[in-house]
Structure formats: C-alpha cells, structure tokens
Amino acid sequence: MSDQTLESELKIPVTDLDQVRVFLQRARAIVVQTMEREINLLMDTEDKRLRTAGCVLRLRQHGDRKTLTFKGPVSYRGAIKERPEHETEVVDLDRMGEILSGLGFSVYMRYEKDREEWALEDVSVVLDRTPMGSFVEVEGPRERIPVIANLLGLKTASAVRGSYASLWLDHRERHPELDLPFDMVFTE
C-alpha cells in the first residue's frame, strides 16, 4: 500500500517514557505497536545527491513491517517540522536494498531505536528509546500537535530540530570522550 503525505511532527526529548505512557493511558490512547527494535538504513548516491537536496531515502524494519520511504526537504513552522513523505511497504527488505543498489544507492548510515506507537484521536504518538536518550514524536495535523503534546505533559518549547541521524552526529561531536560509533546503534 502506498501513502503520500505532508509529515508534520514535533520531536521532544524526555527523561521518562513511563510518565508519558501514564498520560497516554489517561487520555485513552490506543497502543498501535508495542516497544520493539526498529532498524533504519539511510541510502544515497556516492555524490550525496539526496542529502545535498535535503532529502532522505530510508529502508526500515519495525517488527514485521518493512517500508521504503522518501522524504523531501524539511521546513519548520515554529517548532513543528514538515516535509513531503512518500512511503510504501515492501515484502523483502534485502531485495529492495539490492534494487536500490543497482540504481546507484548505498547505505551511508544505520540507526536503531526501540519504538512504541500509540494513536490518540487523529494523532500518532511514538515513544523512542535511542542510544542517545529517549524522545517522544507527536505526528498528525499541524494544529493538533501542540494540543496533544500539552495533554501528554510535554513541553513543546523543548522540541528539537533535526532527524535522528543529525541529532546523533551532533551528540557524537559533543561527546568525543565516549568514542561513539558513526552509526547510531545499541551496543548492548
């Protein structure tokens, strides 16, 4: 199934995902996906054509779900990140990687996170545990995002800009003493 949307989201660092779960339960949110490891492979051409244009090509596996996603350039409306997104499910992630490789794309970065997804009204709320800390992403209609974030006790002023890949690279740069790998992967 193919999906084309304008993705609108807030990404907010948190110290306690359990506290957010309590708010989600009180708001009668529905669990869409329990916490499970997600693997993301970012792909580009050798000349970095997509990154230069501010775009992303990603292969992802989260549980049994495998997707190929293209994201267009990012813009911000206040703290809310927006970008065109085209996504489709794929049956065989390795085969799709081979096809993309044949078209001149290769993996330039891998990142992992443990992700849990909830639905609250017309908004998706994901709880992410990453090697650099925990985050909550609130995604849906732009006007609903701050309302739901506030309902969950999240401070929209704490939202961070950037993708997990760029946040990880910044984190590595700020913490050279940790000797962190280039890829954002769990070492446990």
Q: Write out pLDDT tens, residues 115-167.
A: 999 999 999 999 999 999 999 999 999 999 999 999 999 999 999 999 999 99
On the question of pLDDT at 1 being above 70, the answer is no
On the question of pLDDT at 4 being above 70, the answer is no
pLDDT confidence tier of residue 5, bands split at 50, 70 and 90: confident
Please give the Cα distance from 19 to 26 (Å, whole number).
Answer: 11
**Reported pTM:** 0.93
* CATH class of the structural domain 2-178: mainly beta
pLDDT confidence tier of residue 2, bands split at 50, 70 and 90: very low
Is residue 145 within 8 Å of 138, Cβ to Cβ?
Answer: yes
Percent of the chain's residues with pLDDT above 70: 98
Query: What single string gives the DSSP state of each residue in 85-149?
Result: EEEEE-S-HHHHHHHHHHTT-EEEEEEEEEEEEEEETTEEEEEEEETTEEEEEEES-TTTHHHHH
Decide which of 177 and 188 is more confident. 177
Instruction: Name, in order, each residue with C-beta under 8 angstroms of 141's C-beta and a sequence gap of 6 or more.
Output: 8, 122, 123
Q: Sketch the domain layout of the chain as residue ranges.
A: 2-178
On the question of pLDDT at 3 being above 70, the answer is no
pLDDT tens digit sequence for 70-85: 999 999 998 899 999 9
**Residue 137: how many CB atoms within 10 A of its CB?**
19
